[in-house]
A and B are shown apart, each in its own frame.
Chain A
Amino acid sequence: MKIAISTTGNTLDAAIDPRFGRAVRFLIYDTEQKDFTLVENEQNLNATQGAGIQAAKIVADSGVQAVISGQCGPKAFNVLSTAGITIYPCDANSIAEALELYATGALQPAKDATVEGHWV
């Protein structure tokens, strides 16, 4: 399966970007192939509104089944849930560490948005 991790870098050693909607990019990790691709999120980084919605679409279109990020707002949560994608909030230091935590089942799926929206 594929997992999207929000990040500011471009390797498995890179830090997790704590923002989902306005993450710099997503690292899409394939757990079977044990390799990854990068998807830029620049357009949403600069969006005036609705960044979480479009970031959710980007990762859904990448065919992922899980997202690992720092935070996830209500609209992004809504879209990701509709797409059947599980969100794992994580404050690990690196993507590799987060994937390790995921593999051992140490990450808990979010039942709801982890932060409030910016319009409420």
Chain B
Amino acid sequence: MKIAIASGKGGTGKTTLATALAQAATEPIQLLDCDVEEPNAHIFMKPQLTEREAVTIAIPVLDTDRCTNCGKCGELCQFNAIVTIADQTMIFSDLCHSCGGCILVCPEKALQEQPKTIGYIDTGHSQSLNGDTITFVKGTLNIGEAMAPPVIKQVKKMVDPNQLTILDCPPGTSCPMITAITGSDFVLLVTEPTPFGLHDLKLAVETLRLMDIPFAVVVNRAGCGDNRVDDYCSDEQIPLLLQIKDDRRVATAYSRAEGLLTALPEMVTELRALLGRIDNCVAAAQRSLS
């Protein structure tokens, strides 16, 4: 089963919850850090990283001898990555989405694919509280690169369908978040009880309903704001599966690169129960489909 931890708003506690769930699990699991623009789960998991592989995308390169500057490639490109101007064709590879369309449409076969490294994947191991193996995978997008989805897709290629997999996802509701949650069996939306938290939670809920993935809400820093998130979940009939209280000890531990379970060890029971509740939600969603 694949559980994605997403949020809408950034900084609500996705990594805090994802790493704590991984540590609380009572079976060998996988933890995938899909927040490739700023991966940070490793800071709390302290895994032994043993392998690294590059992530490359295909970008077009131009053979200027063949190119007649007809401009068809630029007309086709939906990402404004190619332009023909003053009898010269220019490629802006950092805008390229690797669709390959320009290569297909070129009548002179003047464009060819060339790999370009945009990031890397690290793989290794960590341990749960029980001593079970946590397979840890982390994607990193190189600084200055704009295309997170290819790196996220490569991280997700490491998913073992026979294991429980927890995906720590990027914030927001745009391409990186969509790429990360696609194919998940369940999404946990972590939010905080503030107007910002609620606003972005609504965007995330809208996204998940469009994608038709079952989901539930976890409120982090409960007690720091108001009850509007609770009221919203109850009005929308969204299960609110866990409340993590607002506790200074969690922040103190975080600043020392220690996770939720270091600060509040008693929460392990609730986190294990949460995994059980997710099982029930997924089973219920599957029943409603069949």
Within 8 A of B (CB), among A55-89: 56-57, 60-61, 75, 78-79, 82-84
Q: Verify A75–B85 contact, CB threshold 8 A.
A: no
Given contacts A119-B146, A120-B144, A53 and B80 within 8 Å (CB-CB): yes
List chain A positions with a Cβ less than 8 A from chain B: 47-51, 53-54, 56-57, 60-61, 75, 78-79, 82-84, 119-120
Contact assessment for B80 and A54 in the assembled complex, using a CB-CB cutoff below 8 Å: yes
User: Is B92's beta carbon under 8 Å from chain A?
Assistant: yes
Chain A positions within 8 Å of B238 at CB level = none
- Minimum CB–CB distance from A3 to chain B (whole Å) comes to 17
Interface size on B, residues (CB 8 A): 15
Residues of B at under 8 Å CB distance from A?
Answer: 74, 79-81, 83-86, 88, 90, 92, 94-95, 144, 146
A119 to B146, alpha carbons, bound, how many Å? 6
* Contact, CB under 8 Å: B81 / A50: yes
Q: Are B90 and A82 in contact (CB under 8 A)?
A: yes
Task: Report how far A54 CA is from B95 CA in the complex, Å.
Answer: 13
Q: Are B144 and A47 in contact (CB under 8 A)?
A: no
Q: Are B92 and A60 in contact (CB under 8 A)?
A: no
How many A-B pairs have beta carbons closer than 8 Å: the answer is: 46
Chain B nearest Cβ from A23, distance in angstroms: 15
B82 to chain A, nearest CB (A): 9
30 A-B contact pairs sorted by A residue (CB < 8 Å): A48-B79, A49-B80, A50-B80, A50-B81, A53-B80, A53-B83, A53-B90, A53-B92, A54-B80, A54-B83, A56-B83, A56-B85, A57-B74, A57-B83, A57-B84, A60-B86, A61-B85, A78-B90, A79-B83, A79-B90, A82-B85, A82-B86, A82-B90, A83-B85, A83-B86, A83-B88, A84-B86, A119-B94, A119-B144, A119-B146
CA distance A51 to B84 in the complex (A): 14
